[in-house]
A and B are shown apart, each in its own frame.
Chain A
């Protein structure tokens, strides 16, 4: 079976995000003063084959822990869906 995993990697709340702060300042400059906070993260899409959703989930979890996110500064979450035949 083919699956698509959409992994989101974000900085932990305690970590300063200079990029996010810069975007926030820019937004305030554009008079979006009501924007209270901006945090920037990464979106990573994996397409993989696996026997079933459980093994796919386990594998994505491991990949995210080991490589995609750095646990010292980042956290991650992901959604898994069965990849449709039309998507390649």
Chain B
């Protein structure tokens, strides 16, 4: 199993993602944004940060980086792609996921721990979770206010593409538990096929007890379990081999 962490100019959670993956004993390496191949790869992580300074719009310029063509091909072939924070924004900008990001409704950057409810365990990234499980993870963003029109949102819900929702400690979504004003408290979504996940919270920051929590390990562990074939998913039929380069 091999994981690649894409490095854009301005990525700043690349090393954090690298170490988080490494802590599972999984092979991991960096992929430079100007490369034209992902190399051998089973999971591509688009890390957080401020790619291209987040100038113009978060993720807007990074989507034109040469490596993104490869990421798109990989994703269409069913390869697993995890976009975290800025990586989620890049996935939205390049159209691998539907919707867009707006500035946080509070108009301030917010860095704090939030609670997420697992809305779907059909995703490769949550296959080890219980439905409705509440996970604690940090957020750190100024542009995390997820927007899509109602038709798109209904469609996302219907197809089980909403994977994480912001909730309170008891697992209930409230206005106070939504840190950025996201439509329907959405914190993470997948594409229709389920192999591409974008999420604003940082699972890589919640992988060590000494840093305050390990709930982020559920996301990585699920993906690795899925890739190693340990989990049979009812609805997902991902062409694992076809995705490998």
- A-side residues, CB < 8 A to B, are 14-16, 18-19, 22, 67-68, 70, 72-73
Contacts and interface: CB of A to CB of B under 8 A. Distances in A.
A18 B106 CA distance: 8
A67 B147 contact: no
Contacts of B148: 72
B60 A67 contact: yes
Interface residues of B, number: 20
Contact of A15 (B60, B93, B102, B104): B102
Give 5 nearest A-B pairs by CB, closest first: A72-B100, A73-B100, A18-B105, A18-B107, A70-B100
B59 to A, nearest CB: 9
Contacts of B145: 18
A18 B100 contact: no
A73 B56 contact: no
A67 B61 contact: yes
Contact of B93 (A16, A68, A70): A70
Given A15-B147, A67-B56, A67-B61, A72 B99 contact: yes
Nearest to A73: B100
Interface of B: 56-57, 60-61, 64, 92-93, 99-100, 102-107, 145, 147-149, 181
Contacts of A19: 103, 107
A38 B36 CA distance: 44
21 contacts: A14-B149, A15-B102, A16-B102, A18-B103, A18-B104, A18-B106, A18-B107, A18-B181, A19-B103, A19-B107, A67-B56, A67-B61, A67-B64, A70-B57, A70-B93, A70-B100, A72-B99, A72-B100, A72-B147, A73-B102, A73-B147
Contacts of B106: 18
A70 B103 CA distance: 14
A17 to B, nearest CB: 8
Contacts of A72: 92, 99-100, 147-148
Contacts of A70: 57, 60, 93, 100
Contact of A22 (B107, B147, B149): B107
Nearest to B64: A67
Contacts of B149: 14
A70 B102 CA distance: 11
A84 B90 CA distance: 38
Contacts of A67: 56, 60-61, 64
A14 B100 CA distance: 13
Contacts of B92: 72
A12 to B, nearest CB: 10
B102 A18 contact: yes
A67 B99 CA distance: 16
A46 to B, nearest CB: 13
A66 to B, nearest CB: 8
B153 to A, nearest CB: 12
Contacts of A16: 102, 105, 181
Contacts of B99: 72
